[in-house]
Structure formats: structure tokens, C-alpha cells
Amino acid sequence: MLKRSVVLVAHGSRREASNEEVYRLAQQLAALAGPMFAAVHCGFLEIASPSIPEALFNCIANGSREIIVLPYFLSQGRHVAEDIPAQIALVTAQHPDIKISIAPYLGSSPLIGTVLLSLLVG
């Protein structure tokens, strides 16, 4: 069976508490996914560590042969459309044998309206 991992990608912040929220979300996602994925890592576009390439290289070093990048972004701005794919391409060029794909970004989910409503009504 192909060893698959996830890299949850967020922007990154100078505020460490914000980055810690992303780490906690990755842990929650790993717990919910159970054995579906070998691991769920974080990668940050800028400011925080690890960078997206560092997170991908960590997955590869731990034996992952397939990596799914999950953009934790609300809209398909330049980061989602250009920057994340460009950083993935850097790793793919060095590891063409590793399958790296990009999942839809958070804001594209049809469930986002339900999530927002739940915040309003508790």
C-alpha cells in the first residue's frame, strides 16, 4: 500500500499563537483521518517554519510516496493559484517519483456556508 501523507498549508504568521492553531488543526485532522494517512504535517507559505518544501521533504524522508497538499485558505488568490503550486514544483523537480497533488482550498468547500452559520447560531 502506498504510504500517503498530508501537508496542511497555511500562510504563516509572525504571531506564534496563530501558527500553533494550524499545528493543532493538523493534529485534529490526523486524529479524524485515523489510518487513512501516515501523517499530517504543517507547511507555511512564508514567515513560519517549516516551509512548504521543508514539510514535503520531511514527508519524503519519512517514506511517503504520495503527498496531498491541503491549502488552508479561504479564497483562490495568488497564494493558492500560483505560489503553492510553484513551491510544490520545486520539490517535484527533485523527486519526480513522488506523487504530490493539491486538494481544493478550504473556501471552495460547499460546506463553508454551514460552518459559518454554525458560528453565528452556536
Residues annotated catalytic, as ranges = 11
Alpha-carbon dihedral of residues 62, 49, 86, 100, nearest 10 degrees?
20
CB–CB of 73/14 below 8 Å?
no
Residue 12 region, left (φ>0) first, then alpha (ψ -120 to 50), else beta?
left
